[in-house]
Amino acid sequence: MGRWARRSGQPTIFSKIIARSVPATILECLVFCDVVPQAPIHFLVIPKRPIPRISRVGPQDAELLGHLLLVAARTAQAEGLADGYRLVINDGNHSTQSIYHLHLHVLGGQQLGWPPG
């Protein structure tokens, strides 16, 4: 399983970043650069509270989800992504979700192709 642990109860790489036991380039709040960027600008926005998948959220998470989107938009603006960017949330095996802690990918800095993948 390695450092990208999926099993519940096992710390994920994101949990380790939050605990500061794994170094990360922090841009703002819990926003940090992806370690394997897929675009010139590629950062992640994660909540402190571990939610394994977007499909596992409920009504009690509405404020948190809105906050994540606001932070993503504000950080994209601060990073100079005025020409646009892509937000990606992977959910489950078929989407190739590799870390089971909700996270938003924000990708930009170049023309992105469609369809993705």
State pLDDT tens for residues 33-80: 998 999 999 999 998 888 999 999 999 999 889 989 999 999 999 999
**What's the pLDDT score for residue 2?**
40
d(CA 105, CA 31): 10
Name the pLDDT band for 103 (thresholds 50, 70, 90): very high
Q: Measured between alpha carbons, how far is 85 from 106 in angstroms, rounded to an integer?
A: 7
Please tell me which residue, 33 or 13, carries the higher pLDDT value.
33
User: What is the C-alpha separation between 116 and 113, in angstroms, rounded?
Assistant: 6
Query: Structurally, what CATH architecture does the domain formed by 13-108 represent?
Result: 2-Layer Sandwich (3.30)
Is 94 marked active-site?
no
Task: Give the chain's mean pLDDT.
Answer: 85
End-to-end C-alpha distance for the chain, whole angstroms:
24
Spatial separation of the C-alpha atoms in residues 2 and 57, rounded to whole Å: 26
Q: Which of 42, 67, 101, 103 is catalytic?
A: 103
